[in-house]
Structures are given as C-alpha cells and as structure tokens.
Amino acid sequence: MKSVNGRRTVMPSDRIGNHPEDAEIRFFTGTWELYPAEELAAAAVVELDLGCGVGSYTAELAKRYPERKILAADVMVGRLRKLVKRCRRMGIGNMTILRTEARHLVAFMLPDESVDRLHLLCPDPWPKGRHSGHRLLTSDFVSQLHRVLKKDGIFHFSSDDEPYYTAVRGVLASSGLFVEAPEAIADLAGIRSDFEQRWNDEGKPVHHIACRRIPRLAHTIGH
C-alpha cells in the first residue's frame, strides 16, 4: 500500500483471496483509497464498464479495441471470477478488473477527468417507490460522473425499464452537465450484455442513451 497526498492507494497485491482468479482482480475497500492516476494517464483511451457483471459486454469491448484500457467494475466477486476466466479464454490483455462498489469508485477512487467513456448498462431499476433511494442515477451521482469523465467524455446508459430510462434521461438533461450524443456509441453496434441479449430474445427492447460531457457554467456573483 502506498500513500498519496495523505490518502491511500491500494495496489493489486494488497488483498488476494483464496481463489486462483483473485490474483487477477484488484480488491478495493475503504473510503479513502485512490486508483493510481498515473496508470490511467498512461493510456490513450480509458473505458469503464460500471457494474460489469460476468463481463460479456466488457470482454467484447476489450476484444474490439485492444489498444484501449478497459476497466471492469462490480461488487460481486463471483461474477468477476467468471470474467477473469472469460478473459483467459478470449486472450484479452487490456482489461483491469476491479472489485468495488459503483458509488465508491466514482465518488472517491477515480481521479478527475480520467475516463473517456463510462458504461452503465441495465442496472437494477428498483421500480417500487419505497426502493427508489437505491437507484444509482441521482443528481449527485451525475455530478460525480462529470468529474471523472474527460473533456467531451461520454456517459452511456441503458435500461429495459422504460420509466427508469425516461427518469435518467430527465436527470441528465436537467443537470446542465451533459448533452445527448447518440453518435458517440455508434461504434458499439453488435456488442450486447447478457441482460440485453436475454431481453431481446424475449422480444423486449433495451433503451440506450449516450451523453457528452460539457463544461460547467461559470458561477457569477452579482445583483
């Protein structure tokens, strides 16, 4: 473990589990741990799949763009172990697998302006009113997305739940931090997550939105 400006940076060897795949997963825990900024800065393009699950989408993205650094993050270590095996089978060498909670990663761990494109695909919509507080896409989280994305960075969201999709679209529009940019995911045609494939097989559509980061408006003080 290293200290950076009084905050902790956890290296991959700090926490290794008993499964053979765990040596290829970075385990991040605690409130003040940072992802090494120099590692992300060294990559020309960085993409993050937030809540990657078993990584069907992430692996295909990494395979299509071997020159890019792909981050795959999920809190369920069993899913990440399956992703490690998938990467081995596919010969993927440009992916970093992270075991961490989504809010923690975006709010605390990632450096400012470090990610080119961030994917959040088919998250749990928490449709019941009493569970709405569990939804990830709040105005505060959108502000953190803006922080970690690079200039003109892209946020890519999808959902099979149309009310949730509509609500997220509204949150993004009202934030004043993003503008819709459907062309920004045109290069992803043909790449689908397991969830999306399942819904499509059942004849159920999955809605996608891509938004481009724009500068914050300058605050002015006056009468």
Residue 116 annotated as binding site: no
User: Which of these ranges, 7-21, 23-37, 117-131, 165-179, has the smallest mean pLDDT?
Assistant: 7-21
- pLDDT tens per residue across span 146-172: 999 999 999 999 999 999 899 999 999
Q: Are strands 207-213 and 178-180 parallel, antiparallel or unpaired?
A: antiparallel
**In whole angstroms, what is the distance from residue 113 CA to residue 216 CA?**
13
User: Which of these ranges, 6-10, 81-85, 105-109, 208-212, has the smallest mean pLDDT?
Assistant: 6-10
**In whole angstroms, what is the distance from residue 119 CA to residue 96 CA?**
15
Residue 69 annotated as binding site: no
**In whole angstroms, what is the distance from residue 109 CA to residue 37 CA?**
10
pLDDT at 184: 98
Residue with tokens 């739940």, as numbered in its chain:
161
**In whole angstroms, what is the distance from residue 140 CA to residue 105 CA?**
14
pLDDT over 50 at 41, yes or no: yes
CATH number of 36-213: 3.40.50.150
- pLDDT tens per residue across span 50-85: 999 999 999 999 999 999 999 999 999 999 999 999
Residue 194 annotated as binding site: no
> Global pTM?
0.85
Task: Of 41, 90, 50, 85, give the one whose Cα is nearest residue 71.
Answer: 50
- CA pseudo-torsion sign 83, 84, 89, 92: positive
- Tell me the catalytic residues: 124
Residue 22 annotated as binding site: no
pLDDT at 198: 86
Question: Can you spell out the DSSP letters for 47-97?
Answer: EEEET-TT-HHHHHHHHH-TTSEEEEEES-HHHHHHHHHHHHHHT--SEEE
Q: List phi, psi (to 5°) of 211.
A: -130, 140
